[in-house]
């Protein structure tokens, strides 16, 4: 299979191709979701801050005890720094993360009565919170449409030929223009799932990819179906079909 030529693709053609890819990936990962464990908006906000430079699995190992000790913004604001640092040590950059979480608790108390705000413009003023973190919280805790441009999402958006942009905010807007707002949250999930499980940064499993026929980057990874299948970091859902066709 030769890489798809998108040079002459019209804006309408790009939109149709992008939505077709999203539909197929949605069928491949019907269980796609936020992989951080949380029960409240505050827990998700803290967990997302902690997920920087580490895995969601790693964060999920430390947050149960963290949330047990510090169940609300007041508890976070009044936490002992050394105790929190020890809890967060496994996540890496634990001193900086402790500083962010302590300041987050203080800011929530001082500005929002200890509650997590529901507006993007308010969330991004909080310590340790950028647009990516804010969109994770808005989409998964409050049901507010938003696109989460993490490293996986940005990489796949470019590989799939949806945009050539590299700035996360520009990628967010460019990709957002291709899809209805109602799809933004799930789009983020399925693309991130695909990036983590199949379209890896260093060695994508092109030969097992269900959207290969619509991907201009097909061939940058392993194209042999059996070898590609061995690279997968998940099991296909019942009835799902992997591989170019």
Domains defined along the chain, listed by start: 11-30+148-229 (1.10.1670.10), 41-141 (1.10.340.30)
Which residues lie below 8 Å from residue 214, measured CB to CB, with a gap of 6+? 4, 17, 20, 21, 160
- Reported as a pLDDT band with limits 50, 70 and 90, residue 206 is very high
Supply the pTM of this predicted model: 0.89
List C-alpha distances in Å: 224 to 86, 130, 135, 220: 46, 40, 37, 12
- pLDDT at residue 106 is higher than 50: yes
pLDDT (tens digit per residue) in 49-66: 999 999 999 999 999 999
Which residues lie below 8 Å from residue 180, measured CB to CB, with a gap of 6+? none
User: What percentage of the chain carries pLDDT values higher than 70?
Assistant: 94
- Reported as a pLDDT band with limits 50, 70 and 90, residue 141 is very high
pLDDT (tens digit per residue) in 147-159: 999 999 999 999 9
Length of the chain: 245
* Active-site pick, 61, 150, 182, 202: 150
* Active-site pick, 132, 182, 183, 227: 132
Q: What is the DSSP letter of 144?
A: -
132 classed as catalytic? yes
Q: Please, where are the H alpha helices in the chain?
A: 11-28, 41-50, 56-69, 73-77, 81-88, 94-112, 120-123, 131-141, 151-159, 168-176, 184-197, 225-229
Give the residue-averaged pLDDT of 117-137: 96
State the Cα–Cα distance between residues 78 and 197, nearest whole angstrom. Answer: 39
- The answer to whether the CB of 102 falls within 8 A of the CB of 77 is yes
User: In this predicted structure, what is the pLDDT of residue 240?
Assistant: 46
- pLDDT at residue 2 is higher than 90: no
């Amino acid at each position: 299979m030769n890489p798809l030529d998108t040079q002459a693709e019209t804006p309408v053609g790009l939109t149709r191709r992008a939505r077709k890819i999203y539909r197929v990936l949605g069928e491949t990962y019907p269980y796609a979701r936020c992989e951080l464990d949380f029960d409240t908006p505050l827990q998700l906000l803290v967990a997302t801050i902690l997920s920087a430079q580490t895995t969601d699995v790693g964060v999920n190992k430390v947050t149960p005890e963290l949330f047990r000790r510090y169940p609300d913004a007041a508890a976070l604001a009044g936490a002992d720094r050394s105790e929190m640092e020890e809890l967060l040590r496994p996540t890496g950059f634990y001193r900086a993360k402790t500083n962010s979480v302590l300041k987050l608790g203080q800011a929530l108390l001082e500005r929002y009565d200890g509650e997590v705000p529901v507006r993007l413009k308010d969330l991004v003023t909080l310590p340790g919170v950028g647009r990516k973190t804010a969109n994770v919280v808005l989409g998964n805790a409050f049901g507010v449409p938003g696109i989460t441009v993490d490293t996986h999402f940005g990489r796949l958006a470019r590989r799939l030929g949806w945009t050539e942009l590299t700035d996360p905010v520009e990628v967010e807007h460019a990709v957002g223009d291709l899809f209805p707002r109602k799809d933004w949250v799930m789009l983020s999930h399925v693309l991130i799932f695909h990036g983590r499980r199949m379209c890896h940064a260093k060695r994508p499993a092109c030969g097992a990819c269900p959207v290969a026929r619509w991907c201009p980057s097909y061939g940058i990874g392993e194209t042999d179906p059996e070898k590609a299948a061995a690279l997968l970091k998940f099991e296909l859902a019942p009835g799902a079909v992997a591989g170019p066709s």
